[in-house]
Amino acid sequence: MRLVIAAPHGRSGKTTITLGLIVALRQRGLVVQPFKKGPDFIDPSWLTLAAGRPCRNLDLYFLPPEKLEQHFSAGCRGADLGLIEGAMGLFDGLDLEGSNSTAAIASTLKCPVILVIDAVRMTRSAAAMVQGFQNFDPRVRIAGVILNQVARPRHEDMLRRSIEHYTGLPVLGALPKKRDFVIPDRHLGLIPAGENESIHAALVATGAAIAANVDLDAMLAIASQVPALPPGPEGQQPPLPQVRLGIFQDRAFTFYYPENLEALEQAGAQVITIDSLQDEKLPAIDGLYIGGGFPEVFAGRLEANVSLRQAVKGAVAEGMPVYAECGGLMYLARRLNYQGRWYEMSGALPLDVTMSSRPQGHGYTTMLVEGDSPFLSRGSLIKGHEFHHSRVINLDRRAVRFLYRVQRGFGIDGRVDGILYNRVLAGYNHLYAPTHPEWAANLVGLAAGKRKIKTVTL
């Protein structure tokens, strides 16, 4: 069984509805495998929490259709239902044809779509909207509607009768306006699930609302009316670890594709979790991976953990291999400016970082690998994404090299990204490991001492 939860536009309530469906279905004893369309880390953290299974990303910018289909099937192994949360509007993509849209994902996977309608200040017009989406692309099957933000029973009744009369589609449920199941957000979207356990109560409230207001039996019947997909490749037993690879994974650093961590394990890494807020020293590791997150929100606590900052700086100076993305780059800086105050970071890289009120880089990226490095092959085109409000300042360009030439995106300055310093690669580009299998193998090989990099020091 499989379904796509989509909407006419962003901020319609897709994530709230999807989370509630997962919670409600799990209470029925079903195993739900969540997926998120697009390069997103925050929504998947909530979907993972709700489902008890790692949420996986589906993105036709990263994977061609046949690989995406295999990835979906493999991810659904052991699950009763694959539930995909869309991104933006259903047909919003990278070009006029809507490539890489949620609709393209649904078409590729032959997956029915449940359309979430934000019903604020609308009655009969909702039917016209649904009818337009219903007829826009014959390759996409819209199978039902869920109403969100319904004001009162009379409002719901008019919406239901209008949609069902003019479109023939069933209205599967209606979620009333209520603050109990609104998840707080900030500049990159929702607050990551790992940051604040007190707001996890929103999941419980949302699940209860879905169970009370959505026809789950009808929805599951729709999800079951799908053709079989080819099975994905069988999961392989990871080899015996060759190296111990440290991962900053805590409230400040939460942005990791599960596929990246799995790729590292398949390449021979034992992943060792490090809490940047509480651990006072580095464990016995051969390399370090610092992903993205919100280090600026926890800058005071990161600064207070002096011993770990010094340990990271010392490890970089001694030649430990380090791969860092966005938030990781910020932690490796000398200082971080946030809301008018400077905070000391690790000082491992010769640069500072300052936060801006506007995004400095936002969207898909394409990076050309220039020069030699042990991380990625010269001449490779690296597809990724970036979403950052920080920018690098006071960079000593004489002390570093750059791995990437920006072809799409912004990176460090609109021209380059991927700072090489000692045995460190740090940049704003978030790489998706299944698209570039050599990354994991090379990082593990570097940590094992099998690959060399020209040392650059001050």
Catalytic site positions = 326
Q: Hunting for tokens 């990099």 — which residue is that?
A: 453
Task: Report the C-alpha gap between 267 and 262 in whole angstroms.
Answer: 9
Cα radius of gyration rounded to whole Å, the chain: 23
Alpha helix segments (H runs only) across 76-152? 102-108, 125-136
Closest alpha carbon to 403 in 385, 421, 384, 383: 421
User: Beta strand 253-255 with 287-290: parallel, antiparallel or unpaired?
Assistant: unpaired
Closest alpha carbon to 347 in 329, 326, 332, 325: 332
Task: Report the C-alpha gap between 220 and 230 in whole angstroms.
Answer: 21
Contacts of 447 (CB under 8 A, 6+ apart): 243, 245, 269, 286, 287, 321
Task: Report the C-alpha gap between 63 and 99 in whole angstroms.
Answer: 12
Task: Report the C-alpha gap between 339 and 329 in whole angstroms.
Answer: 19
Q: Hunting for tokens 């919670």 — which residue is that?
A: 23
Q: Is 57 exposed, middle or buried (0-12, 13-18, 19+ CB in 10 A)?
A: buried
DSSP string, 338-394: ETTEEEE----SS-EEEE-SS-SEEEEEEEEE-S--SSS-TTPEEEEEEEESEEEES
> What's at 274, amino acid-wise?
I
In sequence order, the β-bridge partners of residue 171 are 145
Task: Report the C-alpha gap between 71 and 392 in whole angstroms.
Answer: 35
